[in-house]
Amino acid sequence: MTTFVLMTITGMGLAALYFLVASGLSLIFGLMHVLNFAHAAFLTLGGYTAWLVAGASGSFLLGIVVGMLVAAALGAATETGLLRRMHGDHVPQVLLTVGLLLAFTALVRAIFGSDARPMPTPAWMNQVIRVLDAPIPNSRFVLIAAAIAVWVVMTIFLTRTRYGLIVRAGVENRPMVTALGIDVRRAFTLVFALGAGLAALAGSLVAAVQGAVSPEQGMTLLIFAFIVVIIGGLGSFHGSALAALLVGLLQEYTNFYAMVGMGDLVVVLLLAGVLLTRPQGLLGRRLV
Amino acid sequence: MSDQLLEVSDLNVVLGESHVLHDVTFGVRSGGVTALLGRNGVGKTTTMRGLLGLAPRTGTVRLAGEDVSTLLTHEIVKRGVGFVPEDREVFAGLTVQENLKLAERRGSAHHYDRVYELFPRLRERRGQRAGTLSGGEQQMLALARGLLNDNRLLLVDEPSQGLAPYLVTEFTEVLAQVTDLVTVLLVEQNLTVVRRLARDAVVLDQGRVAWTGAAADLLSDEQVTRGLLGVGVAAANQEGTS
């Protein structure tokens, strides 16, 4: 029982991380139809900014906030300065985001080196709390709390604000939104900035959990985030939450109860199963 | 000063390999309804979408004398153009109220009283998701979005398509009521509706303007209606009395 509780809460922590990365990705694809590989760059940016700011100020929280703001600002600049010029040309947009990811990773490596740098996280994050006798690191609860907070705030944003309404409508039928007199490009910028900010949040938290930042941290998470987005349904925010929970728990249980490393394979099999039986994803809309 | 609210000159639309519209030129007078007619596939819907910039186009589009050809769709709409598309295109995941809220345009009054008076059923169903409405109710919502703001021009694309006859009559009467408020460019296949509403008519044939003039003249000309619309005057009249 103790092991099961430990695996469940650790799996939920992993799911929280996937959700933080995937929710932004999903909204960006749903609204803008861009598979944003540069998302991983914002994740890495968040991690390194938090590392720098926390190292200089001694405040990890300040590092997270600054990382999110820097990533959101850079995300907005990327959308308005680069992606907007290729509006509607999906292949060049994808190539651009891949290029940005590769260039950013190389830049980080050139400035900070290839080695992982230790992340100055507060001591309490590494302490454990016993839940039904299972020792759970506080960092897992931080991840889960952050994901729940993001889910609540984003749900309020999507359902109670005009921009949220525009985003939901834009995911369904973007041309019709413009035919109502709405400049949907502003929503693009907002969603891209939000997504970058959430990726940065995930970047600083994953660095805290792993105790270090490294140039490739974003890329590893991005693959699973894409899997979560596809399983949940492209463009579905709540679908991302559900899929993240499924993937995180499945991965953790399989790695422990079956064989270490098999969790990744099972997740890929789950992806294949969903694509074969419900190609639009768990909560996505049927495209045809 | 010209009484033309909308002037379209040499409108061309190419979609992929297909050259859909060829130098389409016509005008829409202020007030009343101008019907845009033609057989299936002649480019009526493409004309509507081209006017709004929803389809890539060349040519000149003037709205109340202002050249709007180079403007983006939302900029054209903000100048007082409402759009009621073919197939309604309501946002299925949003409630009726959210669909209307989304249509609220800054700088315009929002006439909820008007739309709820015209379509009381929308008031009853305002908390319901638009995707769960019947086809007729979705059409009401699509038209309500177009009537919510102060518009100068309303582009209405096949409002009677797929509706039961009693609903077609209801929509026709609603459109007849609103023509005092807004000029309407109407794409319609149902000649009963055209006869009831339209003052002027433009007929397209194979992506070109084939006929323009008074709707009454068109509908009394056996040769033209049969040749361009595929319906004889007698059949059109019969349709009108059925």
Q: Which of B54, B93, B98 sits opposite A179 (nearest CB)?
A: B54
pLDDT exceeding 70 applies to what percent of chain B? Answer: 94
For position B185, what pLDDT does the model report?
96
Query: Cβ contacts (< 8 Å) between B145 and chain A: which residues?
Result: 180
Q: Does A111 score more than 50 pLDDT?
A: yes
C-alpha distance from B221 to closest chain A C-alpha (Å): 36
Hey, are the CB atoms on B74 and A175 less than 8 Å from each other? no
pLDDT exceeds 80 at position B1: no
The predicted-structure confidence for A187-237, as pLDDT tens digits, reads as follows 889 988 999 999 999 999 999 988 899 998 888 888 889 999 999 988 788
Which band of pLDDT confidence, cut at 50, 70 and 90, is reported for residue B242? Answer: very low
Residue A272: inside a domain: yes
What is the per-residue pLDDT for A16?
94
Question: Is residue A254 in a domain?
Answer: yes
Is A283 within a domain? Answer: no
Q: Do A180 and B101 make contact, defined as CB atoms within 8 angstroms?
A: no
With CB atoms and an 8 Å threshold, state whether A181 touches B52. Answer: no
pLDDT at B240: 44
Compare CB distances from B77 to A168, A179, A285 and report the shortest one's residue: A179
- In this predicted structure, the answer to whether residue B66 has a pLDDT above a threshold of 90 is yes
Q: What is the pLDDT of residues B189-217, one digit of tens each?
A: 888 899 999 999 999 999 999 999 999 99
CATH for A191? 1.10.3470
- Interface predicted TM-score (ipTM) over 0.95: no
Of residues B156, B114, B121, the one with CA closest to residue B141: B121
Are the C-beta atoms of residues A107 and A218 closer than 8 Å to each other?
no
Of all residues in chain B, the one with the smallest CA distance to A174 is B91
Residue A288 within any structural domain of the chain: no
pLDDT of B232 > 70? The answer is no
Q: How far is CA B60 from the centre of its chain?
A: 19
Answer whether residue A185 is part of any domain.
Answer: yes
Domain that holds residue A30: 2-116+129-277
CA–CA separation, A235 and B200 (whole Å): 44
Give the dihedral sign, CA A134/A135/A138/A142: negative
The residue in chain A having the minimum alpha-carbon distance to the alpha carbon of residue B75 is: A181
Contact A180 B105 (CB under 8 A): yes
Record: contact A179-B85, CB cut-off 8 A: yes
A268 CA: distance to closest CA in chain B (Å)? 30
Taking residues A93-111, report their average pLDDT. Answer: 92
For chain B, which domains are there?
Answer: 4-80+152-241 (3.40.50.300), 89-150 (no CATH)
Task: Report yes or no on A148 lying in a domain.
Answer: yes
Is residue A123 domain-resident?
Answer: no
Residues of A in contact with B54 (CB under 8 A): 175, 178-179
Q: Is residue A282 part of a domain?
A: no
Burial B196-231 (b: 16+ CB within 10 A, else e): bbbebbbbbbebebbbeeebeebbeeeebbeebbeb
Overall domain count for chain A = 1
SS3 B34: strand
| pLDDT > 80? residue B234 | no
| 8 Å CB contact of B54 and A165 | no
Q: Residues of A with CB below 8 A from B78's CB?
A: 181
